[in-house]
Amino acid sequence: MKKLVALALAAALGISTLLTGCGSSNNSTNQKNTNSSTKTSESQPAKQITLRFSWWGDDTRHQATLNAIKLFEQKYPNIKIQAEYAGWDGYLDKQTTQMAGGTAADIMQINWNWLPLFSKDGNGFYDLNKLSSELGLDNYSKDILATGTVNGKLNGIPVAMTGRVLYVNKTMYDKYGATIPKTWDDLINDASKFPKGSYPIVTGSYDSWLLSMTYAEQETGKPFLTTDGKLNFTQDDIKTALSFYKTLLDKKVTTPIQSIAAEGGNGLAPIAQLPSFLNGKFAGLFEWTSAISKEATPIKQNNMELVTAGLPMNSDAKTSAAILKPSMLFAINKDCKYPKEAATFLNFILNDPQGVEAMGTNRGIPVSKAALDTLKKDGKISGLEYEGLQILESKPGLPLSPYLEDPKLQQVYDQTIDKISYNQETVDQAAKEMYTNIQNVLSQITK
């Protein structure tokens, strides 16, 4: 992590007071960006404003965002952006601590499932509807903005949309004479063509639940959870999902969790790091569209090709059950002292051609009309992510609950899948236990 760069501009200009946004800074993860320009708009007083901006990501995201910040500061020299960034591990814990202590950044990158964690009533973040012109909200559809709205208050602007799609290693499928699956039956039949130790797909614990949940939603026509956090599946519906997962295991369609653990990982191990995925033995995955480049790149480097298979559906499916949600959102702290300036920054990185080009598609293919037009002109809108999104958007699913990815619920999903994979429980036992555990967790997190 880069260390802080001292902000010496105020002293050089003889400015007696440096105005900052809300909260305190974390010296271990912050970077203050300096700019020698002192010009401000004639209508603005000559004062310096500093806003803290926090996000998580990899080095590529960090550098792209820092580049965008530099361009913004050149265009708006009286506004300084103090960058606070880190990797994903431990980020939610840090965010939770800051939100509880009133030290969160002025501008925050947040996950969609954090809305019920930090803003159940819609008052946890600044209402961005109040900054419509500064943010350029006319670049977003009502449906897109609705995903970031709580109780009529726009808590966050979706940066991009993402969803789960099946991608397969075409090189290995062709080698074994397997077909690109269009239905779940196709996928199951493909397994018989793969040699021992090789699988049509690899799914970790959470992947396995989302895949099985998708199948059960297609079968029942019902969403697993309601948007207000109630369990909509019966115990039998959960059994339908877990029975499907057991079939995938028994038919050697997907890897048992033990196989992932044997390669030095666990049920949550990044698939792109598994040797058997990199050499083609694990020949497909059910992945977020926004994350697929992480797997596609090493596959291409190994002279193989990952292609979009789409979302399998049997002929009697009642719905596509497509999982589609914001990949992440940008929010403004409810206590931010300079919300208009914060909105000006977000508008720059989300809609301004300069900011959009600097940010690129690391956070996903943007949903802003202005950003999309800019990147299309640059020829940057194509590939596996775009193909997957087109498929999901053409097959609308059921309303997706923001509670689906609550960390406590994810623990229940993972534990249930692991118990079936390790033969510690039968499907009946696991379904009964999962039904009870889901109810218990929901009663806690929806209070």
pLDDT tens digits for range 324-333: 999 999 999 9
Phi, psi of 262 (to 5 degrees): -65, -20
Residue 447's pLDDT is 84
Please say whether the beta carbons of 95 and 328 come within 8 A: no
Residue 47's pLDDT is 82
Burial of 413 (C-beta count, 10 Å sphere; 0-12/13-18/19+): buried
Q: What is d(CA 406, CA 409) in angstroms, rounded to the nearest whole number?
A: 5
DSSP characters for 63-95?
A: HHHHHHHHHHHHHSTTEEEEEEEE-STTHHHHH
Which amino acid type is present at position 297? Answer: T
Residue 12's pLDDT is 35
* CA angle at 80 for the pair 56 and 96, rounded to the nearest 5°: 35
169: Cα separation from own chain's centroid:
23
Give this prediction's pTM.
Answer: 0.83
Residue 302's pLDDT is 96
Residue 24's pLDDT is 42
Which domains, ranges and CATH numbers included, belong to the chain?
A: 49-160+327-391 (3.40.190.10), 162-323+398-446 (3.40.190.10)
Which residue stretches of the chain have pLDDT < 50? 1-20, 23-44
Q: What is d(CA 111, CA 105) in angstroms, rounded to the nearest whole number?
A: 15
Residue 45's pLDDT is 55
Q: What is d(CA 50, CA 19) in angstroms, rounded to the nearest whole number?
A: 6
Residue 37's pLDDT is 35
